[in-house]
Structure 1
Amino acid sequence: MLRKLLPVLLSVLALVAGAVGGDLLRGTTAAGIAAPDPQAALPADELPGVEPIAADNAIPPPPAAAPPRPAEPGKADAAAATAWFKFPQQFFVPVMHGGHLDSTMILSLSVEMPETASEEVYAHEIKLRDALLRQLLIHANTGGFDGNFTTEAHLRKLRAELTATARTIVPRIGEILIGDIARQER
């Protein structure tokens, strides 16, 4: 019986000790009122270890900051850090013609996102992979990988399709990046 209660009691004790320690570090009393600072009422020239500053040597106040600009929808804020997630496995997309396998497309994809969205992207990795593979199969079945598929116009269209698909799963995704693309002929 004691073996079962001991972990619970230790957890409760640790929780209470953490709360008390946090309350002490914050500088409040048990009633929740901030404890008075004994040096707050002293003038600056009477504080221990503080030298008064002469008016001619005063440090000028910092310039006022410009108000933040609203971010464009779908774009990462310029001040926010950008992160990337690279899918650990490549995407293999069969290209069929006349009911027979003609070739296989091999792609390495990465997700560009705000750093604050990285946990959400990692949590939805499997759903993202499924949705992107589905979109790649649609692209292949509509002739997107026929002919010269590496022209900028073709790749821009593919990136836009993949990005729109990924944003249905995680709306804060910035772009889908194509790291590698190759066609393996049969």
Structure 2
Amino acid sequence: MRKLIPVILALLAFLGGAAAGDMLKGGGTEEAAHGEAADAGHGGSEAETAQDGHGAPAEGDAAHAAPAKDAAASSTSDGHGKAESDHGAGGHGGGAADPDAAAWFKFPQQFFIPVLHGGQLDSTMVLSLSVEMPGAATEKVYAHEIKLRDALLRQLLIQANTGAFDGNFTSEPQLRKMRTALVGAAQEVVPEITDILVGDIARQER
């Protein structure tokens, strides 16, 4: 009997240890199961939160982006429309010169006409002249500036030798006669010329 007691105690200790191990193992499994369930629930919440968080700003961004896009498109459309309108109004139609409108060319240098009496220099006439013509003839007049000046100078010398600058040379009949003669001389070079304008006229005594 004394020999069996240690064996029985060892057996009881073994059985008790096995039972305790099973209990600990079962408790750990339940805790693990609870932990996994909790993690799963937490993960789902985070996923839902993340989805809601991304979804809301996406909708907000889309809501903000749509008006911005529409505004940009409207602005672009208005800008191009305005540019095309301005280009059509000022670039070609408004800026084109009317070929029938009057234009003028002023000789850059004055005309100096000697007035002789008895073969002696008595005085010198100084005139500033301009040419009037249609706008379409502007380039032609500029191209013939030298010939025009020569023709007008010859006619002024004729006027001086026929007494046009004697006495009251500023009277209207005298000026009209001289201008008519100058227009005729200019039209021999450029027929489109319509008038000769006298800007300044003065007599320098000897």
**TM-score (normalised: structure 1):** 0.57
Aligned residue among 83, 102, 117 for 2:122: 102
Contact 2:114 2:160 in 1 (8 A): yes
Pick one of 154, 165, 169 that aligns with 1:134: 154
Number of residue equivalences: 109
Calculate the aligned-residue CA RMSD, in Å: 1.3
Contact preservation (8 Å) 2:99, 2:135: no
Matched position secondary structure for 1:176: strand
Instruction: Please list every run of 5 or more consecutive structure 2 residues that lacks an aligned counterpart in the other structure.
Output: 1-97
Question: Alignment identity in percent?
Answer: 72
Q: By percentage of residues, which structure has more helix?
A: 2
What are structure 1's unaligned runs of at least 5 residues? 1-77
The answer to whether residue 199 in structure 2 is matched with residue 179 in structure 1 is yes
How far, CA to CA, are the matches of 2:134 and 2:202 in structure 1? 28
CA displacement at 1:105 relative to structure 2: 0.1
- For 1:65, the equivalent position in structure 2 comes to none
Could you tell me which residue of structure 1 aligns to residue 135 of structure 2? 115
3-state DSSP of counterpart to 1:150: coil
- Equivalent positions of 1:147-166 (< 5 A) are 147-166=167-186
Query: Secondary structure of 2:105's partner?
Result: strand
What is the distance in 2 between the residues matched to 1:94 and 1:82?
Answer: 32
Is 78-87 or 95-104 further displaced after alignment?
78-87
Where does structure 1 differ by over 3 angstroms across 4 or more consecutive aligned residues? none
Report the Cα offset of residue 185 of structure 1.
0.3
Look up the equivalent residue of 1:128 and give its one-letter code: L
Greater Rg over alpha carbons, structure: 2
Amino acid across the alignment from 2:105: F
Which SS does the other structure have where 2:166 is aligned? Answer: coil
* C-alpha deviation, 1:79, in angstroms: 8.3
| Residue matched to 2:110 | 90
Equivalence for 2:9: none
